[in-house]
Structures are given as C-alpha cells and as structure tokens.
Structure 1
Amino acid sequence: MGPRRSAASSRGRLLLPLLLLGVSGFFQSYAVEVDIKDASNATCLYANWMMRFLITYESNNGDYKTTTLNLSSSATHNGSVCGNDTQAALVAVQFGEGHSWSINITKNNETYQGDFMTLTYNTNDTAVFPDAKRKGPVTIFIKDPAGPVQLNTVFVCHNSFVIEAENITQIFWNVTVQAFVQNGTVSKKETRCPADRPTSAPTVPPTSANATTAPTTAAPPAPTPPKPVENPDTGNYSLKSGNKTCFLATVGLQLNVSQDKPLLININPKTTVADGACGNTTATLKLNDGNSTLIGFTFAVKNASASVQKFYLREVNVTLLNHLNGSVISSADNNNLSKWDAFLGSSYMCRKEQTLQINENVQVHTFNLWIQPFLVEANKFATAEECLADSDLNFLIPIAVGVALGFLIILVFISYIIGRRKSRTGYQSV
C-alpha cells in the first residue's frame, strides 16, 4: 500500500509574478511550485512551472473570439497525490473563478511519463469570457506529447513549448518536474526538453596558448552580406467540424516585424499546426509555427440577412513568443479589415503577393493565396473569385495575344496586296 495522502501532506506556494510585456499590453502569469509530501513528510513529487492558455470561444452574437487565461495568485493544488507502482501520480491546480488543470503521471519499470492533461475552464468567469454564449465549465483532455523520463531524474524545460488541442493552446515555460522522488530528495540529474537542447556546437573560447598566435596586422574579415529572404513555402491548411471539412486554406505567409530593426519571418508549413473554429457567420483559422509564432485570421459574412451574401477577412492577430521564457515579444491585432471578399459559396484566390497592415510595426505578406472559410463541399475549393491583381494579369494576356494576331493579320494583308500588284505588272502588254 502506498503512503497515505491528505491535504496537509502536500505543500504548494505561488512565487513572484512574471510580467510579460507585449506591444499591445501586459500579460500577468504566476509561477506555481508544488511539493507533495508522503506520510513520513518526505517529498515524493515536485513540480515548478509557468503556463497560460489561449482559448477560442463563441460569443453571444455568433462570433469566435480568443482570450487568454492565466494562473492567478490564489491558485491551490487540492487533490495532488504522489502515486506508486500501481497508482498514477497527479498534479492538480485550481485557480481563478472555477478553472482547474491537472496532469496524470504514470510509472513504468525504470521511467515515468505524463499520461494526459485535463483543463477545465469556466465561461461564467466574465472577466475572461465577457460575452460567452455557452455558460458553465468546459473540460478538455489533452495527451501529453513528452517522452518518458528515467526515474531519479528531473525533467527540465526553460524554453517555451506549446501543446494544442481543439480550441485550446497551452503555453508552458520554466518547467521543472520530478515524479516518484526517491529518498525525499529532488535529483540533480536532468533530462532536458528538445527546446532546451543546443542546435549547434559551442564556440571554443581562446586560450592563453592560442590567443597570441594571430598577427596583429591581419585585416578583419570582410562582412558577409545578408542573405535575402526568399518567398515562403506554400502550406495547405484545413479545419473540420465533426467529420466534415469546413475551412480550406492554401497560402504562403511571411511576417515583417519592425522593432529595433526590420525582421522578415517565413512561416514554415512543415512545422505549422492549424486550429480554429467554423461558424455560420464567422470563422477563425489559427496557425502556430514552431511554438513561437501565432497567427489568427477571422472571417465574417457581410449583411448576413441579405439574399446575396459575401464573406471577407475582418481581423488578423499576430503574436511572437520568446523561446527562452515564453514571454510575448510582439503582439498585434487589426480587427477593422475589409479584405479578400467573395460571394458566399465561392472561394477567394490571389496568386500575387498581398500585404496586410496589422499595425505600424507588423505586416503580414501572403503568396499564392486560395481560401474558403464557409460552405466547403466535398473537401474541395469552390469556384474562385480572383483578386484584382490576378484579374489584371488575366485581362492583359488575351489583349496581348489579340494585338499580336492583329499585327499578323495586317502583315498578311499587306503581303497579299504587294503580291497582287506584282502579278498584274507581269501580264501587261508590250
């Protein structure tokens, strides 16, 4: 039988808040430390981490909005247990107005591993969900993608990483966890997450032996000119409602961020995950590239009560996250757009590059765009309405062909006239 558990057998305390500074405002999140004790008052499970959630929900008017849910300063950890060979360990946290999060951790021979996470958020919390259509608690189960960790080893991840499921984006950073702690002492041995592992060999610092071998008259190497950023690869993205595809998008995306210096970022479709929600009058596509870039596109229907309806791009939001601590480097939103409009039941296409101005510091460039946010049938794009830039190109091609044919007809006619004149001259009497 495993050690007895009680509310007094575990200890949790909140650390100093971390203030995350973004372009459009401040986000506040708290680090939580949970130290679970067994019956002998020895540590059997230790966890220290920071996290927050991006949640997409339906508002009273049928629109879909994305809100941020952070840990609060009054978080508790009731129900957390140590676990043993036959029982899973559990880290459980309760915070805010009826929100909770937990993770089951199972033991298997010489390793332990997270099994699944459970998030319950309460849309009755009007501060976070001010106009939610659905009221009450909503529970989401998320499979933990992390691999097994050796016993008597602590799992550490300082850099941020993202786990997505349904309409939830979970962001974690500064994570330290050890389940099934042995002898009541957290181990000194660490297993690092992939985000913390170096991607290149470290630079060898100069030593006293080689620092003086370089001649003092050697000229510095010529600076390497910056490599131009190529156009981004085109990605294919889709959303489903049940078993039916409800949103189709093909697009290459590039961000232009102007802060201390201009920065061009190509969104890599191979590492980008699509999420979002489909509705009758609004639809949202969220793209997460490499756990550091979040882009959201919101479409709406114009004149929903009219007999002839069109859809358009209404809002774009962009968030750049710091790999080191998960903080917001840049956050921009433009909810007053009127782009990419087409008749409902059609798709919108624009092969030419387009620029969406999000704010004075952030632009989104699109390439080879083909999108349909409503009324997708048989998992295929409907007939496309092309942008003006593409239409001009298609219009100029037949004009150029027509002009060329006109010149050819004129040349044939002139040649014919000249030939007739020469023929008449050859048959005149002497």
Structure 2
Amino acid sequence: MARWHALVALVAWFAVLQGFTQAVTLEVREGNATCIKAELSASFSITYDTSNGTSTAQVSLPNSTTVDTSSSSCGSDGSSPWLVAVFGAGHALGLGFSTNGSLYSVANLTLQYNLSDPSVFPQANSSDVVTVVSTSVGIWARVNTTYRCQSPASFGVGGATVTFSDMKMEAYMPGDDLSPTESVCVADQVSTTAPPAPASTTAAPTPVPTPPGTPERGTYSVTNGNGTVCLLAQMGLQLNVSHFSVSQNKTVQDIVNLTPNLTTISGSCEASSATLVLMQERTTTLNFTFTLNSTTNKYHLSSVSLLASWPDMAAPFSASNSSLDYLRSTLGRSYMCNAEQTLVVVPAFSLNTFRLQVQPFGVTTNQFATAEECQMDQDQMLIPIIVGAALAGLVLIVLIAYLIGRKRSHAGYQTI
C-alpha cells in the first residue's frame, strides 16, 4: 500500500512538472469589459523543510489554472487592479498593478503555496499555507501597449523563485484584447538581431555622446504616516543603461544624470524595510529598497529597479535585482561614501553614486546619525597619512645622517 501511495504521488508530481508547460490565458473582467489579460507560462522553485532537512519543489503553472474572481479586480473605487490565478490544491499566483498615467507596472508579485499538498511537497514538515510577496518586479510597459517578454525572467519571492516566459500581458486595457502595439522587455531586445543596414559607399560618422559630467547632489527624504522623517539620503546619481537605439539601429550605452530639481520623491518605511522612489519627468523611475536584519542590527541596499522611457529607445527599459548587498551599515548609523561608487544591478544597468550619505532606519531629529564610511573613503584618507609618515621618516633619516656626519667631522681635529 505504501508503494502504491508513493507511485500515485510520483505520477502526480510528473504531471505537474511535465504535463502542463504550455502558456495559459487569464482575464480579469468587469461587466462585459476586460481590464487585465495575460498569456504566459510560469514555473516555481520553492524550498521547504522536510524531516530529512530541506527540499526544493519545481512546479509549473498548469493549463487548468483559473482566475479567482473574488480576489481579482479591475481596480475600481481607488483600489489597485489585481489578477489572482489559482491552481492545484490551494496554490495561487497574484499580480498587482499600478500606473503613473503614462506607464503601468507589476507593483506586487504574490505566491501562495499549500505545504499540505503531498503531490508537490512530499514529506513536508508543515501543512501551512505560505504567502510570499515581492514589491521589486521589473515588469513595466507604456499604457495602451502590451508587455511582451518571450525570454525567461526570474524573480525572487521570499524563499521561492518565480520564472515567467512566453509572456504577453496588458493592464488598464482600453479594449477587450491585447494591444497590437508592444513594449518589449530588454532581454528580447538584446536577443533580437537587427537586420543589416543597406550598403553605402560613404558611411556617416557615428556621433559620440558627450559625457554628462558629475551629477548634482540631491537631498531626498521619506516620511511615515505621522509626518516624521524615516529615511534620509543625499547623493549624486548617474545611470548607465544599455539599450537598443532606434536612430543608430544597434545597442548603445547611455549615461544619464538624475537632476534633483526635476525629480519627485516618494517611498515608505516599515519595521524591516524602507523604500525610496525617485521619478524624473515621468520618463525615469528609480526604486531603492533597504532591508534591516533585526538579529544583527545591520541594514543594506537589497533591491534596485529602474524604468526608463527615453526618446531614442525602441521600448521602455526595465531592470530589477532584489538580491543585492550594497551600502551596508549598522542600525542607528548612516552610511557615507564620498568617493564614486558603481553599483551593478544587472549587466545592462549599473548605477554610479557620488558624495553619498544615506540612513534608511533609526532617523532622529531629521538628521543623519554618525556615519560609517565606505572602504574607498578610508583608503583615500590612509594614502596621505602614509605619504606624510614616509616624508617624516625621510626627514628624520636625513637629520640623523647629518648629525652623525657632523660629529665625525669634529672628531677629526686635534687640540694643540
């Protein structure tokens, strides 16, 4: 009997992994109108505890997946639009959307999984229903366009990883079907080979972009519900973005400075996380998330995401990384680095910081606490100390040599 149960579980397991890998179509409707539509494939890698340690479940979104109409919404009455898909024995995938009027994005990615499902989580120690959420999702598109990404894209959500592929999706839809105009993800832009340009006897010189210079230092702050400042930051920011240029018909690298007086500030503060969002003229949105470890009382920059919609781009650029470990400091202190730093987010996007000081937790009296300096600043301070010590040592050696030489010259004379 035990072998029979094991065989049934094994068959169900292979059905989940192998039998349901094709794309599913999901729609959220309000009356006779469709407001969210998604055609996608998704797989999940979930680590869970067993009696023998830990195990990892690999699950695909089955084609039997349906939309939970009670949890999904078009976002009426000021609420955010939600697409919630349910599958299997108590599992669910949720996508929450937001918009700034010209762009829309996935603001929340939620995964719910039921550990009491033995076909997916054999020998699990718990029978809990676990819900994990990520607010750093690099899925963005222009309003009234379809977000398209055929390339696999993975997102960390708690102890799980969600991977989308063959994805077409649109929120805030004006019609009942996906828009024919598409916003293509960066991965698809890089993998697509542009057609060769027609031969020309005289090649026009490629214009060399002028470096923007050192960015202006901005002062940014986030307040909590009672109006108290909970996050402080001062820094110059420079964006390094690789994207496909329409005018040059190839991938180029743009270096763009963030201008403080053209930037709007928003964000939020929680007990163990703090977010700073900077938006420049509705064309650039930069999101920082800091995480606090309550056990060690250390915090760090854990996530950065960027949405850029610049004139020469073939499609909006989006990039996100929620597994970073930058700007590490101690609770009750600020982090400072006057030297230029380069924070690599993804291969196509890095961030240069200048004269940076930030404190996302434990802000009092609206001022920075004592700073912990970065290693580069410490090294720059150490160099003049070493040079000064070396010069002082050289002067001392010369002085000693002079005194010894003078003493020997006096010893050479005899008294008559």
TM-score (norm 1): 0.49
| Mapped partners of 1:340, 1:99: distance in 2 | 37
For residue 289 of structure 1, what is the aligned residue in structure 2? Answer: 280
Structure with the larger helix share:
2
Contact 1:160 1:323 in 2 (8 A): no
Shift of 1:228: 2.5
CA displacement 1:38-97 (0-9 Å, x = unmatched)? xxxxxxxxxxxxxxxxxxxxxxxxxxxxxxxxxxxxxxxxxxxxxxxxxxxxxxxxxx72
For residue 100 of structure 1, what is the aligned residue in structure 2? Answer: 76
SS across alignment from 2:316: strand
Aligned with residue 412 of structure 1, among 389, 399, 406: 399
For residue 239 of structure 1, what is the aligned residue in structure 2? Answer: 222
Matched, 1:228 2:211: yes
Q: Structure 1's 18 and 289: CA in aligned 2 closer, same or farther, altered over 3 A? A: farther
| Mapped partners of 1:394, 1:324: distance in 2 | 42
State the superposition RMSD in angstroms: 4.2
Which has the higher Rg, Structure 1 or Structure 2? Answer: 1
| Mapped partners of 2:336, 2:84: distance in 1 | 39
Q: Structure 1's 129 and 405: CA in aligned 2 closer, same or farther, altered over 3 A? A: farther
Instruction: Structure 1: state its 5+ residue gaps.
Output: 1-11, 20-24, 26-95, 102-118, 133-158, 175-218
| Mapped partners of 1:99, 1:348: distance in 2 | 39
Aligned with residue 297 of structure 2, among 293, 309, 312: 309
For residue 318 of structure 1, what is the aligned residue in structure 2? Answer: 306
Q: Structure 1's 16 and 276: CA in aligned 2 closer, same or farther, altered over 3 A? A: closer
The residue type paired with residue 365 of structure 1 is N
| Mapped partners of 1:383, 1:293: distance in 2 | 32
The residue type paired with residue 309 of structure 2 is L
For residue 403 of structure 1, what is the aligned residue in structure 2? Answer: 390
Shift of 1:403: 1.1
| Identity across matched positions, percent | 31
Shift of 1:423: 3.5
**1:57-96 alignment runs, 5 A limit:** none
For residue 374 of structure 1, what is the aligned residue in structure 2? Answer: 361
Instruction: Structure 2: state its 5+ residue gaps.
Output: 1-30, 43-71, 86-91, 105-134, 136-140, 145-201, 244-250
| Mapped partners of 1:421, 1:131: distance in 2 | 89
Shift of 1:422: 3.2
Contact 1:319 1:328 in 2 (8 A): no
TM-score (norm 2): 0.51
For residue 253 of structure 2, what is the aligned residue in structure 1? Answer: 262
Shift of 1:317: 0.5
SS across alignment from 1:401: helix
SS across alignment from 2:215: coil
SS across alignment from 2:267: strand
Structure 1 consecutive aligned stretches of length 4 or more whose deviation exceeds 4 Å: 12-19, 125-132, 159-162, 171-174, 219-225, 322-325
- Count of matched residue positions in the alignment of Structure 1 and Structure 2: 248
Q: Structure 1's 280 and 233: CA in aligned 2 closer, same or farther, altered over 3 A? A: same
SS across alignment from 2:388: helix
Shift of 1:309: 1.3
CA displacement 1:191-226 (0-9 Å, x = unmatched)? xxxxxxxxxxxxxxxxxxxxxxxxxxxx99998754
The residue type paired with residue 335 of structure 1 is S
Q: Structure 1's 324 and 297: CA in aligned 2 closer, same or farther, altered over 3 A? A: same
Matched, 1:428 2:411: no
Matched, 1:332 2:319: yes
